Amino acid sequence: MKSFNKLFFCPIILIALLSFGCNGFLDVNDNPNAPVSENLKLSATFPAALVASVNQETGQLNQLGALWGGYWGTTSEGINLFFNQKTYNGPGLRDVRDGFPVWETTYTTLLYYQLIRNQAAQEGALFYEGAAKIMQGFHFLRLVDFYDNIPFDEALQGTTHATPGYESGEMVYKKAVDLISEGIEDMKNAPAGTLAGLDDVLFAGNVTLWAKFGNTVKLRALVRQSEVSPLAYIQEEIKKINIEGSGFLMLGQSAMVQPGYLNSAGKLNPFWENYYRNVQNAVTGNYQDIRPTQFLLEQYQLRNDPRLNQLYVPVKGEFRGVLFGDPEVNHSLYGRNVTSPMKGPAENNGQAGALLKSSTQASVLLSSFESLFLQAEAAQRGWISDAPKSLYEAAIQESFSYMNVEKVLFTAYNSQESVAYDGSLAKIITQKWLSLNSISSIEAWNDYRRLGLPNFPNSLQSPNPTANPLRLMYPETERMTNLDEVLKQGNDNITESRIWWAK
């Protein structure tokens, strides 16, 4: 099984599972023979929750986004991999045994943050309570992006609401944004001596960075609904962000989780371990079979993009990609001797590649360059007063920095007509797409559903030439326990039913 994070979580064993299971490097249980909440400190449960959040982002969601966002295909040897994703097989993706459990994984993590919130409220620990609210808002927004209408008010309450009612995706978006705002205020009101320290594996207790992160997540939510929501609502929410005053994540302020990865079994960075090399330094099956699409390589080449050489390995002097969903076995699309794999230190004279840097590299939850591209779009739309050109150029330079491209190469790159900012939204979205490649790939799929940009090729195994994946279907686990509510939501066909914000 080569899908990342293929785990189903049962809320009954939630604490025990997360106490022992955060990649083996977080000792979050004082008494391993009694994994119950009374034995766990917030300084132990909080980092475990953050690790669960980032693992889903860089694993499960990044993988789906890379396949549906125009980045990844497979070699001919991997022709049978990701069959449900290549064929847009909704029932297969919602299956209990072999499906893609975004719903289950996310609600499990949401429940874990709820336990943290409850404990923090009892202890008067406003920092942890606020952080948990911000992260819950983050995950509720993600769930809407995949399923549209979901439980919110009645969610996470166990037997009190065993069959929780669904709310519209639009309403959940508003409530999630408000929840993030509450979280920011809680953290800002936390007494100085009660802040987290190194147990905050995201920002090491820095309240300002947490506020910037929360504001950036809210901006992402506002940009997502740019094509459908009244401008008055968006302007009011931007005004609230301005009044709060912390701003957004800027240069050098990526939200990155670093729990203490080590080059030993069970402690490697998960992206490295799943998509590059294991602890024995042997290449993984994913590394052997996943390849960039030809369309992606062409977009870098058309712009003489210096990131390309840091991202992929040339084959006989050329960068060679594949076609997503290609159903034919083609000897010209076989493995690393014919098509270009991702470049890591072993392929780069021991130096870090763009994506594969080291087995202990930090995991990206939300990058500074995504934040800057979001701000550039907000400025281009007239929502904020900053210059879109400056934000756009800063975002590209931040991407260059992350991908280990020399700073001096930016000037020549930006001087090209195909790159230089000309006021168009298409330029911003295209550069955002080129920058988030295999880092936060799910945002590429989200932008495509929102704007149709960039117009990458459809899967060759699509049900028909015009069918595209628009959502995920409600999972079988939910249908088995809350069927009446699921049926009330109407059609959830993967290629027919749009998320509320999709144009």
Kindly state the helix (H) or strand (E) to which residue 187 belongs, with its residue range.
helix 169-188
- Residue pair 251/398 in contact (Cβ under 8 Å)? The answer is yes
| 225-259 tens-digit pLDDT | 999 999 999 999 999 999 999 999 999 999 999 99
Label residue 241 exposed, middle or buried (CB < 10 Å: 0-12, 13-18, 19+).
buried
- Per-residue confidence (pLDDT) for residue 12, from 0 to 100: 34
Angle at 57 between CA 228 and CA 334, to 5 degrees: 105
Distance of CA 193 to CAs 45, 50, 132, 196, Å? 19, 22, 19, 9
Treating both helix axes as pointing N-terminal to C-terminal, what angle do 388-402 and 368-380 enclose, rounded to 10 degrees? Answer: 160
* Secondary structure, 3-state, 341-375: CECCHHHCCCCCCCCCCCCCCCEEEECHHHHHHHH
- Per-residue confidence (pLDDT) for residue 332, from 0 to 100: 74
Residues 6+ apart with CB under 8 A from 305: 299, 413, 434
The mean predicted confidence, pLDDT, of the chain is 92
- Residue pair 181/240 in contact (Cβ under 8 Å)? The answer is yes
| 381-402 tens-digit pLDDT | 999 999 999 999 999 999 999 9
Q: Residue 178: which of 145, 141, 212, 146 has the closest Cα? A: 141
Q: Residue 137: which of 182, 101, 77 has the closest Cα? A: 182
Tokens of 305: 């993009």
- Per-residue confidence (pLDDT) for residue 331, from 0 to 100: 76
Tokens of 19: 């106490």
- Per-residue confidence (pLDDT) for residue 164, from 0 to 100: 97
Residues 6+ apart with CB under 8 A from 56: 5, 105, 106, 109
Kindly state the helix (H) or strand (E) to which residue 257 belongs, with its residue range.
strand 255-257
Distance of CA 160 to CAs 153, 155, 157, 164, 237, Å? 12, 9, 6, 9, 33
In angstroms, the CA 361 to CA 358 distance is 5
All residue ranges of the chain with pLDDT < 50 are: 1-25, 27-36
Tokens of 354: 């763009």
How many CB atoms are located within 10 Å of the residue 59 CB?
21
Which residue reads 């969601």 in tokens? 61
- Residue pair 220/188 in contact (Cβ under 8 Å)? The answer is no
In angstroms, the CA 324 to CA 460 distance is 6
